[in-house]
Amino acid sequence: MNIKGMVKAYFGILAILGLLMLIVPLVDSIYGEPVSITFLFFGEVLLALGLIAREIKAEALTTLEALVVGISAWVSIPLISAIALSYETKTSYVDALFESISGFTGTGFSVFRLTGLKHSILLWRSIMQWSGELGFVVFAMVFIPYFYNIARRLYGIERPVKIEATFYRTALRLLSVYAILTATGTLAYYISGMNIFDSLNHMMTTIATGGMSTYDAGYAIIYQKIPLTVVPIVVFMIIGGMNFYDINNLVTGKMKYLLKSEELKYYLLTLVTISSFITLSYIFVEKFPLTYSVIAGFFNSISGITTTGFSIGSLGDLRDVTKAIFVMGMYIGGMTFSTAGGIKALRLMIIFKKLRHVASEMIMPSYATRRVVIKRIEISEEDVSTALFITIMHAAMVFIGATLISIEGYRFIDALFEATSAASCVGLSVGVIGPNSPLLVKVVIMVLMLSGRLEYVPILLLISLIVSRKALYVLKW
């Protein structure tokens, strides 16, 4: 096994974490607040390890080695962040770990009491979401030689990461687009009425479809004071849930290619359909005023489908039928190759097309059998099976999680809502998750958040590779 290569890649990822952690003491200095010593210490140590690792001469990683590095990094990054967060906020390690996993997976659940926290810690929660999942892969592709091979192996055809001629240039393009959108959104939020600190934090968590806020009451408190902010947030939530390939076409003005995106059409159709149903439920089931129903209905549903997690009004007081519609939207989620969670619009599209063909095959002759085609490319049966597998696995994990949560006495619909929100990395809550939630609930939610973000395939593939000597032998070649 290529130990040197694995160490080089692993420490390279941790160096990026270290560089980000150094932002915390810098912000402390800017605001004249006590310097976060633990963030300074870990930042310097991790950065030093990364610089040392750059000198290691190693070969490119195999698929198995890439999986080990990727999963190890995903597990250890929240663990390291939690140590610093626990010390600086004087909270338990479990709560700090929960906050870190929620942050880096882009979920948005919180068990912290934000009142009284330093500006740097509030910003760190946003940084975790902004840099999480896709961000770390992109950063690694830029700063770590040959790391794009890991990204290519970890993410299949459902994540077409190659926009430019090379993966390195692709990563640079994605970073620039990500930064441009963040800057543009921050300015839009500021113009709409937020102060600059809230604008930056909320934009970082919007474009990352994370949903963490700088207030205990979340975005709802901002909406009460500045209702106009709902407009730019809705726009950037929708953009955040889009495929980065489509976002690149949008930013560069390639509307011809953007309009040809089949997945985008399914994504927008899902947004309109689910949002309409929830709005109607707000009007006729919840009996809310028309204006509030339209605004809150569309905002909350778009937040759920894009897996952002901002909300207006109390979701815990909604009736079961409305919660069930929310669950459907969160389960589907946004688009592939985005920061959104859920099963993704592309997989839903593949399954629908396959079901339609199966139905037609029952009455059509065998020679007329049709194949699933997307963008004029025939989708293999293996890819169809993968899409179906992830869809079923996602449902199974949600159901198991909801069952375990309900053991603590919560109604099953509330447990199902929370489990779906966690597995799809949404962050919307009906009140199950909070500082005083039972330990079992916190543990279940953490497992769901992490496994949902990894989309199960890397974990299961790693297990299958480990138990299959034949597979290991093949991968070596």
Instruction: Dump pLDDT digits (tens) for 362-377.
Output: 666 655 556 777 766 7
Tokens matching residue 70? 């990727």
**Amino acid 141: pLDDT:** 57
**Amino acid 476: pLDDT:** 45
**Amino acid 172: pLDDT:** 78
**Amino acid 389: pLDDT:** 85
pTM score, whole prediction: 0.91
**Amino acid 167: pLDDT:** 64
**Amino acid 270: pLDDT:** 96
**Amino acid 156: pLDDT:** 44
Q: Return the bridge partners of 377, or none.
A: 374
**Amino acid 71: pLDDT:** 79
**Amino acid 142: pLDDT:** 54
**Amino acid 473: pLDDT:** 44
**Amino acid 475: pLDDT:** 42
Tokens matching residue 321? 């039928």
Tokens matching residue 275? 């949002």
> Which residue positions in the chain have pLDDT lower than 50?
154-158, 160, 470-477
- Please state the three-class secondary structure of the chain as a single string: CCHHHHHHHHHHHHHHHHHHHCHHHHHHHHHCCCCCHHHHHHHHHHHHHHHHHCCCCCCCCCHHHHHHHHHHHHHHHHHHHHHHHHHHHCCCHHHHHHHHHHHHCCCCCCCCCCCCCCHHHHHHHHHHHHHCCHHHHHHHHHHCCCCHHHHHHHCCCCCCCCCCCCHHHHHHHHHHHHHHHHHHHHHHHHHHCCCHHHHHHHHHHHHCCCCCCCCCCCHHHHHHHCHHHHHHHHHHHHHHCCCHHHHHHHHCCCHHHHCCCHHHHHHHHHHHHHHHHHHHHHHHCCCCCHHHHHHHHHHHHHHHHCCCCCCCCCCCCCCHHHHHHHHHHHHHCCCCCCCCCCCCHHHHHHHHHHHHHHHHHCCCCHHHCCCCEECCEECCHHHHHHHHHHHHHHHHHHHHHHHHHHCCCCCHHHHHHHHHHHHCCCCCCCCCCCCCCCHHHHHHHHHHHHHHHHCCHHHHHHHHHHHCHHHHHHHHC
